Every structure is written in structure tokens, then in C-alpha cells.
A and B are shown apart, each in its own frame.
Chain A
Amino acid sequence: MSNISRTYQSLRSSQKFQKRFSVAIRLIIALFLIYFSIFPVLWIISASFNSSQSLATQTLIPDRASFINYQRLFGADPNYKFGDLYFQKWIFNSVKVASISTILSLAITTMAAYAFSRLRFAGRIAMLKGLLLIQVFPNLLALVAIYVLIFQFGEIIPQLGLNTHAGLILVYLGGSMGINIWLMKGYLDTIPRAIDESGMVDGASHFQIFWHLLLPLLRPILVVIGILSFIGIYGDFLLARILLNDVDKYTLMVGLQIFTAGQFDQKWGVFAAGALLGALPIMTIYMILQDQIVGGLTTGAVKG
């Protein structure tokens, strides 16, 4: 009896040991992985505080730490000539374009999704399928066409043409009748119709039902779609690159790309400072809203 219990005991403790051993090994692996994931970021942080400009002389702990790169970024170092550097403007442009596009496209998406979810009309299903089919054609393949289109717009209405933020926003809005309608419609479908009916009994119009009853309930999905589309537009490079010409009209991503031209290694420190400041807002959003975004990402991707 005691024999058996002793074997059992030793078995349990060896299991426990095994478990601890495996956790320890996995923690070591985790350390390696974490190093892989953050070492480029560490180097960027270090570079941004390094007062010598060049890539070649960089060490992880800067010898002469200073804020000189940040000062240069904001044009506060009169001895430093970079050329056209409008960092504040680029950030402002990016936030402006992304916010306006996001808000307008949310309005378009939500209203269309309301119709698809609550109203019945001929061609509803065909249109829903059509929206999916059009997504098959990647927007960026039509680059030339979009460029020509905005050029022609500008010939007629200069405020909407090439090299304007309004023109860029218009193009971004073109993508709002896309996959997000499916996401939004799916969410709307889960809201009980009894809510609509209670409104109808009181004589509310469709718009009143939408505005007063349903919209407040849509807040969670609006936040997820809104943030994802903001991040998407904030990070967009190609369309902004093609449509904007003047350096002071650039968005942040187009602006940061300038650094790679010419002697990149000589501009490394200033780029690092700009990259960090540019990435920080987005990283913060992700870290705070991690769970919501991940949730939206998975359902969005799986359900379309």
C-alpha cells in the first residue's frame, strides 16, 4: 500500500518536475522570440537618441545620448539641412485625411448596411454578392485609372484634383462599399427586430429608427471598423504617393519614405525619431484595444 502511494508520489513529483521543466524551456524560447520581435524597435529607439547621425557608428546604448534628432525633426536645429522636412505637417495631414475618410466611410457603410439588413428590395442578394465579387479586383491594380480619373477631376474642379487631400479622400471613400458592409450587416442582423418594431409602433420613420434606436447599439462594431479603417488609411502609402506631389502636402508615410532616397544611412537618426513618433499613436491604440481589434479581425476575416 505504502509502496504504491510512494510510487504515485514520485510519479506526481516527476510530472510536476516535467511540467516545470517544460515551462522553463518555453520561457527561454519566449525570451528568444521576444528578442526577435523587439530588437529592431530597440535599435530604432537607440538610434533616435544617438547624437551621431550615421548608421555605421550606432551602438545599442548611445555614447552621446541627446534629443538632437527630435529637434532636427521639428526643424529646431538651424545647423541641420535636410531639405524639405515638414514633419508636423505630415502628421497633421495623415490624421486629417484618415479621420475625415474614416468618419465619412463609416457613415456610408452603416447606412448601406442598414438597408441590406432591414429593408427588402429586388436585387438585394445580387448586390451583396456583387460587392464581394468586386473586391476580387485589388484596388491598387487600377492605379493608372485612378490617377487619370483624379487628374481629369482636377482639370474640371481644381480642389478635387491631383495634389489635393480632398481628391485622396474621395479615392479612399471609394473603398467604403466593400467588405465592411458585410461585417456591419452581420452585426445589424444580430440586433432583434423587435427594437425596430417598437419604434414603428410609435410612428418613427426609418431614419429615426436608424438614428435613435439602432445607431447607439452599433457602437462596438463602429469602434472596431472605425479604428481598423483609420489605421489602414494612416498606413497607406501607394495612393498617397501617386496622388500627392508637394512635399508639404504629403502624408506621414509618404514623407517618411523620402528618407530612403539618397544617403539613407546619413539620415538614419532623424528617420528613427520620425518613425517612432509616427508609430507611437498606432501602437498605443493597438495595445489598449488589443482584445476588441483581435475580435473584429478574426470575425471579420472569417466571416468576411
Chain B
Amino acid sequence: MNKTSRGQSKSRLATEDSLASKLIRILLIVLFDVGSVWFIQSALSLGFDQLVIVFAVIAVMLNLIFLLPRAYPFRWMAVGLSFLILFTVYPIIFTIYVAFTNYGDGHLLTKEQAIPIIQKATYLPEEGKSYSWTAFKADSGEYALWLVNPEGESFLAKPGVEIVPAMPGDPGIGEADSKGIPTSIEGYKRLNTLLAAADKELPKIKFGLEGDQTIQIRSPSEAAELEILYIYDPDTDTFTDQSNGDIYYNASGTWTARNGKILKPGFRAFVGWKNFIDFSTSPAIRGPLVQILTWNFIFPTFSVLSTFALGLAIAIMFNDRDFPLKKLIRSLLLIPYTIPGLISIIMWRGLLNSEFGVINRFLEGLIGWAPPWMTESFWAKVAILLVNLWLGYPYFMLISSGALQSIPADIYEAATIDGATSWQKFRDITLPLLLVAVGPLLIASYVFNFNNFNLIYLFIGGGPPIVGASTQAGHTDILISYVYKLAFESGGRGVQYGLASAISIIVFFIVGTITLLQYRFTNMWEEVSENV
């Protein structure tokens, strides 16, 4: 290296690196690109179009970042950005997309995947090419058919195997009898006509390879080739039922006939605002949704207020510096916070068990009555708030005691000299000053509880169930647990990703508004600008 270039390299520290590391970098990029191309090709062949797009975007981005010297700062966050796009940004966009589709049970496939499945259905035509048949049966219970068509050609047919031309005397096939039908087939015994006609299994069996040529028995004397039941016409995008002529039209993802009959499976298709409109028009969905939404606002409101009130009360009570055993008391009161939430919740589920729970046995002994925590909606809600109080107060105890210490003592002294009572001091000094520091955390806690899936789902599963709802909704369900049930726990009603995503979007708008409010509160935007 000569002197001038050394001077240069010093001033361009950010972008220059040695030849060796440059080579290694380019090698890695090439390797990455080879991998990406393979990945994208595989995704393309499986029909994962959206995945192809995201992955291509990420691959291009990473190439630019590592090839352009100007993009050097982004190399520090290249991995993070990729993950952010793949697992945060893309799922958001995908959720919005799904909200406008009918994605769910019965509509899981793409149109290209659904059409061949429908085309597989066959039927036995009343007329058409027919064969005379003779049945053979193996000891294992399997059947074989000897078929002769009107031209006198003979075939051997077994279920799931291609139908092949065969002649008596071929290898494995016995000699012909007087009618030209083999007396035996290796491994099978010939059934006499009467026995075959009475066999109940035989008419149900499809002989031959599915999708190729299949033959089924139509009558004691006749077997016929099965034909495709639904024929697809790409020009009109319809299926026609060959047995009766019904036409099935494509109605946003479901082929539907005029008489209301539908073909299964349907396919993923845009349904516009249908999922959203369903909220307001379908009584079976609207009913529980209004109820769930109401509870979804009540629950976090009461939770935040109760946990904050108790936490603050404790913080104030033990705020003295020289309070005896202060450290021990704090540690013991902190315990609920240190247990993983899920464990605490399931623990409470046992403790509040209506029949066997410790608390109810105690209450029964004391006053002869105990609340039905798990079965009555009112008491279930009380139980949830109670458990959440236990789970949540230590957090506000910690936060409040920290914030209390930052309030200067001389304000209180001044207030005492002015003759303020304790209540006045609390209302006019402590609370306002505290809220400045704790306010944003109250909002954060509100948002957290707004989506407190674990508590609702693990404690009581959203139950007790709402009677008469078309979806699996319970009295204590909040939106997020409702979404989960719609998407993953259909309970026989079929998963509904589209509807679930639409509710997700609604939750997103509610939570988004609250969170943006919080950012304003904390002056985060200003902070960024100041820190430039």
C-alpha cells in the first residue's frame, strides 16, 4: 500500500476493507444467492407465491447491502432487517390480505389445486360402453374382475392397478372354460354367478387406476367404465355435473349450483369486505362479537385500575426508609411477579376449581356457599380480575415505589407547613407527579391486558360458552382468544382464517390507536429527533 492510499483508507474507514475480506464477502454473497435461487425455485414449484415475493425482496436487499459500499451501515443490521421483514412485516401484510379472503376449512387450496381434486369425482353412467364380468376373490378378501367387451376383447382388472388386456392361458391365468372365461387366476378363486350377484361389497369397488380408467359393476350382467362427474370449463369458470346437467358457478371461491348445492373443496379467493360485513349483518357472529368487545374494554380497565391501586397503596405504605423488614416484605410481595405467568394461571385454575378448589372448600366451611367461578359468567369475570390483581400488583408496586422516591421531600414539607392533610397531599402532590412517570406504563399495561390471551385462555378457555353463537365464543373471551379459537380450535365448525384475520385487523386498529397515544405521552418522537 502506498502513502496516498493509506491516507485515503483512513478517511474512508467506514467503507474500506482489505482485499481478503472483500473476497470472502463476495464468496458468501454468491453462496447466499445460490441458496436463495434454490429456495425461491422450490417455493415457486409449490405455489407459495407470496413467500417467493418476500424472499426475493429480502435477497435483493441483502445483495445491495453487501455489494454497495454506501450501504455499509446496513450491514450491521442486515440479519435483523431480514428477520423483521420475514416475521413481522410480512405477517402483517399477509394478515391484511387474508382478512379479505375466505381462507379457512373448505377453502385452504388455491384454485389450481382445487380443480383437479373436483375432477377426480366419477360416476357410473346409465348408458355407454359396457363389459360382461366375472368376479374372482382372493383369500385375503381382495377381488379381481375378468372383463369382456362387446368386441370380444378380454381384460383383467384389480382395484388400484391399471387394467390390462389378458387372455386365458397367459402366465398366472388358467385355461378357458366353454364360455372363454378362465377357470382360475393365480391367488384368486372364481366366484359363481349367483354368489357374485349377491355379494354386497362388489358393486362398491372401483377397479383400475384412479384418474386413469376405472370400472365399476352396474348390474349382475354389466360393468361399465366410470366417467368424470364434473367437467370444468375454463372459459366460463364453471363445472357441469355430467349425471344431471347441473351447472356450478364460481361464487367467490365456491362453485355453487342454482339450487344452492356446492362442490368441495372450494378455493382461496377474494371476498372483499365480506368478513367485515359479516360482523354487522350475521346475528350469530355479531351477537358474541359485541359482547366480547364490551368485555374486552372492561377487563383491562378494571385490571389496570385494581393492580395500580393496590401496587400504589403498598408502595406508599412502606415508603419509609427505616420501615422494619422493608426488604423482606418487598421480596415476599414480589413473588407473584417472579413466577412464569402460565404457571400462576394454571395454579389459580386449580385453587379456584368450583368443586375441589381450596378456596371454595374454605368458603363452604365458613359461610356454606362458594361462588361458581368456572361456570357462571359473572363469577368467572370476577375470578379473572382477582387472578390478574394477584399477577399484576407487584409490577406497579415496583414502579410506584421507584417513582415515589423521585418526588422531592421538600414539597411535602411545604405542604405540611401550609396545613395540608394527608389526603390532600396525596391527591394534589403524589398522584399528579406519579402519573407523569407512571402514566405511559398504565397505558402499556392496558394494551398488554387488552391482548392478555394467556390469562383468558389458560384460566378458563374463554368459557362459559355463549349459547347460540355460530362460532365458538365464550362469556369471558376477549378478541385475541376469540381469534385463536376461530383460527385454530374450530371444534368441528371448521377453522376460519379469513374471519380471524379480519378481527385481528380490528384489534390492530384499537391497539394501534392506544399505543400511538402512549408514544405521544412519552414524547418518544421528540426524543428521537433530539438524539440525532
A148 (CB) vs chain B CBs: closest residue:
B94
Instruction: Report A279-304 residues with CB < 8 Å from chain B CB.
Output: 279, 282-283, 286-287, 290, 294, 297-298, 301-304
| Selected contact of B339 from candidates A41, A135, A238, CB within 8 Å | A41
User: Does B76 contact A114, Cβ atoms closer than 8 Å?
Assistant: yes
Knowing A136-B515, A148-B94, A175-B88, the reply to whether A268 touches B350 (Cβ < 8 A) is: yes
Minimum Cβ distance to chain A for residue B272 (Å): 19
Q: Of B51, B341, B353, B398, which contacts A294 at CB under 8 A?
A: B398
Number of A-B contacts (CB under 8 A): 270
Partner-binding segment picked from B141-149, B154-162, B229-237, B325-333 = B325-333
| Chain B: CB-nearest residue to A157 | B39
User: If A141-B483, A144-B487, A264-B350 touch, does A149 touch B90 (CB 8 Å cutoff)?
Assistant: yes
Contact status B349-A264, CB under 8 Å: yes
Interface size on B, residues (CB 8 A): 102
Contact yes or no, A177 B80, CB < 8 A: yes
CB distance from A239 to the nearest CB of B (A): 10
Which of B83, B347, B488, B508 interacts with A275 by CB under 8 Å? B347
A134 and B84 within 8 A (CB) = yes
B458 close to A143 (CB less than 8 A): no
Interface size range on A against B: 35 or more
Q: Is B420 an interface residue (CB 8 A)?
A: no
In chain A, what residue has the closest Cβ to B92? A137
CB-CB under 8 A from B531, the residues of chain A are 189
B528 with A125: CB separation less than 8 A: yes
Task: Flag if A112 contacts B440 (CB, 8 Å).
Answer: no
Contact A173:B333 (CB < 8 A) given known A278-B340, A287-B338: no
Does A228 touch B at the CB level, under 8 Å? no
The residue that A149 contacts in the complex, of B17, B51, B487, with Cβ under 8 A, is: B51
B98 A115 Cβ-Cβ under 8 A: no
Q: How far is the CB of B343 from chain A (nearest CB, A)?
A: 5
CA distance A11 to B348 in the complex (A): 49
Contact between B329 and A301, CB atoms less than 8 A apart? no
Q: Are B340 and A55 in contact (CB under 8 A)?
A: no
Check A37 for interface membership: any CB of B closer than 8 A. Answer: yes
6 closest Cβ pairs, A-B complex? A174-B87, A142-B91, A145-B91, A115-B76, A112-B77, A286-B338
Q: What residues make up the interface of A, taking CB atoms closer than 8 Å to B?
A: 23, 26-27, 29-30, 33-34, 36-38, 40-41, 43-44, 47, 54-56, 58, 108-109, 111-112, 114-115, 119-121, 124-125, 128-129, 132, 134-149, 152, 155-157, 170-171, 173-177, 181, 189, 200, 203, 205-206, 231, 234-235, 237-238, 242, 253, 256-257, 259-260, 264-265, 268, 271-272, 275, 278-279, 282-283, 286-287, 290, 294, 297-298, 301-304
By a beta-carbon cutoff of 8 Å, the part of chain B in contact with chain A is: 10, 13-14, 17, 39, 42-43, 46, 48, 51, 72-74, 76-77, 79-81, 83-84, 86-92, 94-95, 98, 314, 317-318, 320, 323-325, 329, 331-344, 346-351, 353, 355-358, 361, 390, 394-395, 398-399, 402, 437, 440-441, 444, 451, 453-454, 458, 480, 483-484, 487-488, 497, 500-501, 504, 507-508, 511-512, 515-516, 519, 522, 524-525, 527-529, 531-532
